[in-house]
Every structure is written in structure tokens, then in C-alpha cells.
Amino acid sequence: MNRKKPHVFVTRMLPDVVLQRMKELFDIEVNEGDKPLSIDQLKEVFNKFEVVVPTVTDKINSDVISYSNQKLKLIANFGNGVDHIDIDCANKKGIFVTNTPGVLSEDTADIAMALILAVPRRLFEGEKKVREKDWVGWSPNFMLGRRIYGKKLGIVGMGRIGTAIAKRAKSFGLNINYHNRNRVASSIEDQLNATYWSSLDQMLSNMDIISINCPHTPATYHLLSARRLKLIKNDAYIVNTSRGEVLDQETLIRLLEEKKIMGAGLDVFEREPLIDERLLKLNNVFLLPHMSSATLEGRIEMGERVIINIRTMVDGHRPPDRVISGTTI
């Protein structure tokens, strides 16, 4: 006897190979307009479907989840971060929430490492001069940046991504330091020759480059607060590939303008996709459009994890990537 296919709604256009596979397995509808849905549109979706596949651009708050009907069994997030979903509200209604952990660690680490290299060496400024035909030739003092080798890298959040960054950074001769909620295994510390700092304040004040890699949760909102940002050395750099809300962007902009922080590489922003005009005017900032996870391979793997979670739920089992209160279990 053939089991009825679950009714699935996908909020954004995914790679063709992923959508094709979903169409083979599920009864799906897709937001072909590929624009973020409004709260009212999301409510309609949650009141109609058995499974919803949202992305980071969808604000799945308590109003949306409370509007869901009894059919909705699973919110299968297309992505690792779940700060846009009210997990507690979903749990109370008996709705599974899943994500795609571990899929994007290497891709995100690549972009973080690219920013760690690009910002101190002023690659954005150099490329801009060439493109704008403002380069008149080599000279000894032209475009002097800072050496990477031997510098102290402080990683805020030593999970999968932070560890992947540390492995890359070690090969470039950086000294690895990290702050984490829990200290990592001694074997990892030994492999990376990494120094653990129990005090985030002390680590920030001693680093040459800081990479932010912790998830955005209520506990990490403005983890790098105005007070902590002012602890950072004047000749240090910040790279953020996690979430814009983890640092106080207003204070960061002011410190960059005043050269009290030397430079920053940002792939994420508060209130994105809106970008503060002051950031656009700064030459000591390398800005990217939230693209650290943007590889075709990664997106396909994300889709495969979503499909596995849906199929497992349909088969009557607990999905493997279930999330409770922001933590994969």
C-alpha cells in the first residue's frame, strides 16, 4: 500500500537538483517568487501544510507558529542557524524543528579565512584602486598592510566552524586562541596548539585578529558589546561570519571610523539586508552579502539533510537533526 506523500511548502527557491528530488518524494509547493514571505503569508502556509521548509529570511515567531493547524508536524529548516524560529513555541505545540548541522562548516571556514587574510592586507582597497584606475605604479610605502604570520587569532566559539577556521589559520602561521562555553578536547588543543581563555574579556584585549563564530541566541545577543569592543586593541581586526546580532554594530562602526579598531571583515549584519551607509563609506572594511555558506555543494547537502529529516518524520521516527531550544540533539 502506497503511503500518501506529505504536503510540503518550501519558502524559497532551492537548487534545481534539490527541488527535483523533493518533487519525487513529496507533494510540494514552492514560493517561486523567491522573496521573503510576510508574517501573514507565513501564517497561511503554517495553517495549510504538514511540513514547512523555511530559511534564515523567514521570521517564524510565536504568532506564526500559533496559527498552525493540527496537520503541521515539522519545520525542516534549510540551514544550520535557527535563531529566526521560536523553538520553544514549536516544542509546546508538538512540532518538530530540524536544521542542517555540520554541512556548511568547511564553506564558512573558507570565507572566514579569506577575510582574515584580506582585511589586514587591505585587499579590498587594492582591488578598488586597480578597478577605478587609481593605481600609478609600485612604491615602497604603497598599500602597506599587516603580516598575518605569527599574529594571535582569537576565535569566539570553537564549534565545528571555529575548529575548521583554526585548522586553516594554523597552516598560515597564526597562533590559535579561543573562548568557548566549554573547553574543547585536549587532543584538539594539542593538534592546533590552541590556548583556551576562560575570560572572553581577557582574550579580546590580547588578540591581533578576532573571528566570531558562535551562534546567535538570546545569550549571545551583543556578546561583543560596546564595553567589550572597546577592549580590543587599536591595531586589531574583527571578522564576523556568524550573525550580525552577535556584536554591537553601532559601536563597531564608530570604533572603525575613529581607527580604534584597525579593520573588519563582515559577511553578516544587524538588520540585514539593510546595510548601514557608514559601513559603505569605510575603506577599512571588507563587506560580503551573507555568502559564507554559498557553495552549490553545500546547498545540495543542506537539501539532502532536509529530505532525510522529512522522510524520517514521515516514517514515524524522530528526525535526526531535531533542535530543542536552539541546540541540536
Q: Which grid coordinates belong to 149?
A: 604570520
Identify the burial level of 262 via C-beta atoms within 10 angstroms of its C-beta, where 0-12 means exposed, 13-18 middle and 19 or more buried: buried
Q: Which of 249, 243, 208, 245 is nearest to 229 (CA)?
A: 249
Cβ atoms of 306 and 100 closer than 8 Å:
yes
Please list, in sequence order, all residues whose beta carbon lies within 8 angstroms of the beta carbon of residue 261, skipping any fewer than 6 positions away: 229, 232, 234, 236, 237, 238, 252, 255
Give the helix/strand (H/E) hosting 30. Answer: strand 27-30
Cβ atoms of 245 and 272 closer than 8 Å:
no
CA distance 286 to 124: 6
Residue 278 is among the residues annotated as catalytic for this protein: no
Cβ atoms of 145 and 124 closer than 8 Å:
no
Residue 290 is among the residues annotated as catalytic for this protein: yes
CA distance 98 to 306: 8
* Set 12, 179, 243, 322: catalytic member: 243
Please list, in sequence order, all residues whose beta carbon lies within 8 angstroms of the beta carbon of residue 190, skipping any fewer than 6 positions away: none
* Set 189, 257, 272, 301: catalytic member: 272
Residue 272 is among the residues annotated as catalytic for this protein: yes
CA distance 202 to 231: 8
Q: Which grid coordinates belong to 166?
A: 583554526
* Set 44, 290, 304, 311: catalytic member: 290
Positions marked catalytic = 243, 272, 290
